[in-house]
Amino acid sequence: MDESVQSQDADQMRRVAEGDRSAFLALYDRYSARVYGLSVRILGDGGPAEEVTQETFLKLWSRARTYSPDRGSLLAWLLTITRRTALDRVRLEGRRPVETEIPAGEDGEPDLLDPASTSEEARWRTLRFALADLPADQRRVIELAFYHGLSHTEIASELHQPLGTVKTRLRLGMARLRRAWLDEEARQPTASKRGASGVNQDGEVRGDE
């Protein structure tokens, strides 16, 4: 991968770790097609592949602080997350993947996630279920913000809701997701206590005022 792209990716990941949503959206635009393509190769179905793509980028947002460019490219890191997320979905649904020999990364790059993935997958299953369990109004604003890239103002316009209401729902929803993540992490006896969330202590994310 071009060194200038790797440098740009590393800079944007630092910004994502600080809660910069514009950097997150730039990475989504750059890599979502690659992530979706790998998901389809494993799942063979566009609908579930889209859900895996969304979940992968939610993980990028929440785990940005754990990414180290010294260990390899961001693309390889993302594709490793994608592969494991898709295969986890296959296992949960009790079916076989369409394609089983999926490389951990492209261009011969290594698997960049910690090999002790069982507890990691458990935490992400918890987060996925927590998102599904959110009140519909909170889940909707989170989906519009992170999956569709809308600003707070755009969400308010889309939902015909006051801007303050949108911000409150987003804050409450993110706080519940963060608690679910931390609760699951606390149940993992060997889990590292790294900062795993891209939101602050109040569950807030950066957006326009």
DSSP calls for 16-33: HHTT-HHHHHHHHHHHHH
Question: Whole domain around residue 82: which residue ranges?
Answer: 3-93
Q: In terms of domains, do 148 and 87 share one? A: no
Residue 59, H or E segment: helix 46-62
Q: Is residue 7 part of a domain?
A: yes
Spans in the chain with pLDDT lower than 50:
100-117, 190-209
Is residue 197 within 8 Å of residue 178, measured between CB atoms? yes
Q: Is residue 36 part of a domain?
A: yes
Q: In terms of domains, do 77 and 148 share one? A: no
69-106 residues labelled b (16+ CB within 10 A) or e (exposed): eeebbbbbbbbbbbbbbbbbbbeeeeeebeeeebebbe
pLDDT at 100: 46
Q: Is residue 198 part of a domain?
A: no
Contacts 24+ apart (CB under 8 A), 44-52: 44/97, 44/98, 44/99, 48/89, 49/86, 51/89, 52/82, 52/85, 52/86, 52/89
Q: Is residue 40 part of a domain?
A: yes
- Whole-prediction pTM value? 0.52
pLDDT at 108: 37
pLDDT at 200: 40
pLDDT at 29: 84
Q: How many domains does the chain have?
A: 2
Q: Is residue 99 part of a domain?
A: no
